[in-house]
Structures are given as structure tokens and as C-alpha cells.
Structure 1
Amino acid sequence: MMDARVVVVGSTNLDLVVTAPSLPRPGETVLGNGFSTVPGGKGANQAVAAARAGARCAFVGAVGQDGFADQLRASLADAGVDVRRLRSVPGPSGVALIAVDAAAENLIVVAPGANGELTSLADPDRAAVEAADVLLAQLEVPIEAVIQAAGWARTAGTTVVLNAAPARRLPAELLDVVDLLVVNQVEAAVIAGADDGVGLDGLMEALLDLVPRAVVTLGARGVRYADRLGLRLSVPSPTVEAVDTTAAGDAFTGALAVAWAERGGPVDAAAVTAALAWACAAGAACARRPGASTALPTRDEIDELFAQACPQASATGGGAAA
């Protein structure tokens, strides 16, 4: 098993988090019971998740020239992420407003700020992409940058993992270079252009018309996987007492990128199952703590929960950590 080299092209935000007994409905004011500021953003969260899961991870993104920028940069660097390609641009940094209820469900509104200025990449960014095993990208930065990075990755033989969130239809020039698509059910339906009546099986098949491999995340129920070679898998998530699910999906995706990179791309059902189960353990471990980047688990925490949930895979070397 080789060392994982992951480069993330994505967003970094400061999360302004309010906890409350229930989430507000449109037009409703709810009295909260706690407030915190936590470095976040899908890109930064997944970079930290990958670094804590054992990867050598570099981050390509942008912060503003405001009081949040130093905090965002430091949070990545402190997690062991290479921030040499995190540029500073005029204006504010990205901000996310997050409300979390007593059941650990959340509502999120993102103001992109500096993330919206990442419209094109440069030669040092290309070098990072070409040196990586896996390029991991999301859609909280302009899609032009994602397409550019993914094209470089395809040419260099770097695996392209796209977490297509927030939900939107994707251009063919991006879909054509994606190796593994990671989405939730809402995002899957939007990308596939599926009707409301299409079930999960139908969604999976519709995604395979667009990309060679797809993972649909199902929260506490785990994930579904399908590929064009005919493999179809349902992988459960470990059962934990959830406190905050805000970054659980990012923990899963970052860990999956690491597992994929370490294995050079799993090539059989057992290896794919183990990679997905290990990533599910990362997501479940994250949900046990409040916050975004501060809740992302270490490799030891992932291994421990994976061993508890999948003792046979762990004992036989099936886990990503083996």
C-alpha cells in the first residue's frame, strides 16, 4: 500500500455556528443556545480530513484580506496541510452561517467571498495536481477552476474525485474527466436530471451514464456504490451517538480519497467495500463531536471505529489502514 498524495481544490470558510432546539422554518425566529466560530468550507474540511486520515495533502484555494484569513490559513497548516497554494485576494474571506438542532441536523448558507475569485489556476497549482495520486474537488469555488484542475489531472494520470456539492447540473467537459463521483441523493437527482419518482437504484444507473463510478451517501444509513464494471454495493455506517453532522460528509469524502490513493484505486469488490467502510467510519467518528474542521477524526480514531464496526475486514487486512 502506497503513501497517499492528495491535492484539494476548493473552498475555505469561517463557519458561524448557532445551536438551537429546532431549526427555523421560513419567516420564523428561533432562540439559540450556543454560538461558535469554526474554520470550515467543503474544500478545507476535506483537506484537513485527508491530512488527519494520513495523506500528504496540499490545498489550492483563496482567502480574503480580512480578520478571518489568518485563522483559516493557520487551521489548515496546523492540520498538516500544505498551504503554499492558498492565495490571498482582495475582499472578504468566505463565510458559512450554520444552524444545528438538538437532533444534529443542520441548515447552511454560504457567502463565497474570496472563494468566488478562484476562477483560474496557475503553474504551481498544476504541478501540485500532477504530483498527486488523487485530485479532490467540490463546487464551492467557480467551476472553471475545477474543470481546469480536473483536465490537468486526467492528462497526468491523477485520479479525479468530485464531490459535486452544492447540487447543480455539470458540463460534459467536467463529467468526462471524473473518475469517481461522490454525492448525496439530492445532488444525484440534480446531476442526473432525474424525476422525483426515480428510486435510488435508478439514480445510481443514471449517474453511470455520466461517470464511470459513483457513490451516493445516505447519512447514518451508509452509502451505495456502483461502477460500469457491474459492481453494486451497499455499505452501512457504524452506529454512533451523533452530536453534529455538519462535516460528516466531508470526513467521509476526505477519508475515501485517502483510501483510494493508498490502494491505487481499489480493483475488486472486497477492496472497494473496505475503502467505503473505512470512509464511513470517518464520517461517523466526525458526527460524534460538534463543529466542522475541529470534529474531523484522526487516522487512529477512524481505525478504531472501523475495527469495531468491521472486525472481519480489519483482522484480514481489508481496512484502508492495514
Structure 2
Amino acid sequence: MTEHAPVMAAALAVVGSINLDLTVTTERLPTPGETLGGGVLRRQPGGKGANQAVAGARLGGRVRMVGAVGNDGDGEALVAAMAAAGVDISGILRVAEPTGTALINVDWAGENQIVVCPGANGVLDLEGVEFDAEEAVLCQLEVDLEVVLEAARKTDGYFALNAAPAMPLPAELLERCDLIMVNETEYALIPELATARLVAVTYGKDGAAIFAEGTKVAEVPGLSVPVANTIGAGDAFCAALVLALRSGLNYTQALTTANAVGAAAVGDAASQPFLEPLATYQPQG
């Protein structure tokens, strides 16, 4: 596959999930069969796709969202939140199924447990959807794998995949990806990533690295920051890395920038944290 030249316009189409996050914060995570009291409940926008689209827009990208919500109040609220963040919402379908919901338990250290009810995300299709050649397309795996494959087939330009949640990836998809992004657990669960074209791996407090066909080509250390919530950090990292690479930064510069964005995100309790423009996080000099 040919190399794609950097695009200064930083256009991004995100294909993925849109969820209502029901987040309960407790002192610690419960053990199996245990009931904990004293939880604090928050309802907030979420879903990996929506989180990445909002992060991209807040970082200054020109972002549109392709996804699905139900014909219900939750769906309307989630779409309105994306629009308020600057995301183009014209590609969001309204369907009969209820809006997707994530049930999240977070402890005081920021660790979490998540159960996702896909709802409308499970019936997303790309009929009539087209991608411009200058757009980077970013997918995750919270929608049907066939939808992700279709997005890859429809993409003439740069195609990036956040391979989460972890699952076996078809050879066709692996070969089409210009960039794959995972955390260290997902990297271990998807052995075929060991020789993929370009893979970014996050290691939490230990930083991140980029591998080109199994060879490490960039590495950055972790940043010590107060942790409020880790849920949106990986999504912010993914959006930032795609935009940074597409703006012409080299691997180390882009990884340093995305790592700083992820660190900023963990300090915000929201799944869609407030972020400064991308240039704010870029290395100086």
C-alpha cells in the first residue's frame, strides 16, 4: 500500500460507538458477589467513537462522526453534546434500538470496570457513507466488525484503528490499517499485531511506544499526573496521535504529543475531557 502524504487540514472521520456512560465512583472496586455502598453516580456522554470524535474536535481537528443513536432522549442529548464540542453530526443515524449504554465503576485511584450494552451501535451501517481522500478515518471495535471492514474498504486515504476491545483481526483489515492503536493488554491479546505495519501501544503510567513491523521506532516515558478518571484517556490519545501524524509530526514528536494529551485527559473526571488545541501539547524546539 502506498504512503499517504501528511495533510495539514487535519480532517478526521470517526466511525464508531456512541454511548451514555452511567458512572459510579466508589472507594474501591467491588469483588465478585460484593455490594458496596457510598457510590456517586454520574450520567455523561461516552462511547469510544464519540469520545475520540469530541477529543479530535477539541484538539482543533475538523471532525465528523459516523454512528447511531436511538430515537430517545439519551440519543438527542449525546448528539447535542457532540455538536457543542464542534463535531459534525450529520453522519449520525437515528434508529429504533435504544441508545447504547455503558455501566462503569471507577475507584478513587481511577481504575475501572465497564460493561457495554451496544443498543443502537449494534445496527450501525455505512449505506450511503463516503469518505473524502483527504480525511483520515478512525475506527474502534465497539461496533460490528463488518462495519469496520466496510469502513476500511471505503477509505481511499489514511485508515487508523483503535483495536479495542481486543478481538482477532482479519488479515484484510490488518493489511489496510496505516496505524493501529492499543493498550498493553490489548497488544498481548492480539498476537498478529507483533508484525503489523505501524502499531502504537500505551503502557499507562509507563508511557507509550510505536512499532513498525515489530521494530520499536519511538518511545516516550509516562507523565506523573493526578488521576481523576482513566476512561477517556486512551480515546484522547488515539485522536491526538492520528491528528499529530497527519499534521506532519514524526513518530517521536507525534507520540510525545499524544502522550501529553492522554495525561491531560486522566486529570479530568469526564469521559470526554476538556482539551486545549493540539499544538499546546507538542514538544517545543
TM (norm. structure 1) is 0.83
TM (norm. structure 2) is 0.93
In the alignment, which of 222, 229, 233 is matched to residue 237 of structure 1?
222
In the alignment, which of 83, 92, 102 is matched to residue 89 of structure 2?
83
**Shift in Å, 1:238:** 2.4
**Shift in Å, 1:34:** 1.1
- 1:121 matches 2:100: no
Within-5 A mapping of 1:85-234: 85-118=91-124, 120-123=125-128, 125-126=129-130, 129-153=131-155, 156=156, 158-192=157-191, 207-209=193-195, 211-228=196-213, 230-234=215-219
**Residues 101/244 of structure 1: CA separation in 2 closer, same or farther (3 Å cut):** same
- 1:16 matches 2:22: yes
CA distance in 2, matches of 1:67, 1:229: 46
Question: Hey, what does 2:4 align to over in structure 1?
Answer: none
CA distance in 1, matches of 2:134, 2:21: 28
Within-5 A mapping of 1:275-294: 275-293=254-272
CA distance in 2, matches of 1:95, 1:297: 24
Cα RMSD, aligned residues only = 1.6
In the alignment, which of 232, 253, 260 is matched to residue 274 of structure 1?
253
CA distance in 1, matches of 2:216, 2:232: 28
Amino acid at match of 1:251: A
Question: Hey, what does 1:197 align to over in structure 2?
Answer: none
**Shift in Å, 1:207:** 2.0
CA distance in 1, matches of 2:119, 2:274: 24
Amino acid at match of 1:70: E
Q: Is the 8 A contact 2:217 2:251 kept in 1?
A: no
Unpaired segments ≥5 residues, structure 2? 1-6
Greater helix share, structure number: 1
Question: Hey, what does 2:237 align to over in structure 1?
Answer: 252
Unpaired segments ≥5 residues, structure 1? 193-205, 308-312, 317-322
* Secondary structure of 2:132's aligned partner: helix
Amino acid at match of 2:151: A
* Secondary structure of 2:97's aligned partner: coil
CA distance in 2, matches of 1:161, 1:229: 17
Task: Say how many residue pairs are matched.
Answer: 279
Greater strand share, structure number: 2
CA distance in 2, matches of 1:170, 1:228: 16
Q: Is the 8 A contact 1:7 1:132 kept in 2?
A: no
**Shift in Å, 1:59:** 0.6
**Which portions of structure 1, spanning 4 or more consecutive aligned residues, are displaced by more than 3 angstroms?**
228-231
CA distance in 1, matches of 2:215, 2:143: 33
**Shift in Å, 1:216:** 0.9
Question: Hey, what does 1:198 align to over in structure 2?
Answer: none
Quick one: percent identity of the two aligned structures? Answer: 44
Amino acid at match of 1:285: A
Moved more, 249-258 or 229-238: 229-238
Q: Is the 8 A contact 1:251 1:296 kept in 2?
A: no
**Residues 212/94 of structure 1: CA separation in 2 closer, same or farther (3 Å cut):** same
Q: Is the 8 A contact 2:219 2:255 kept in 1?
A: no
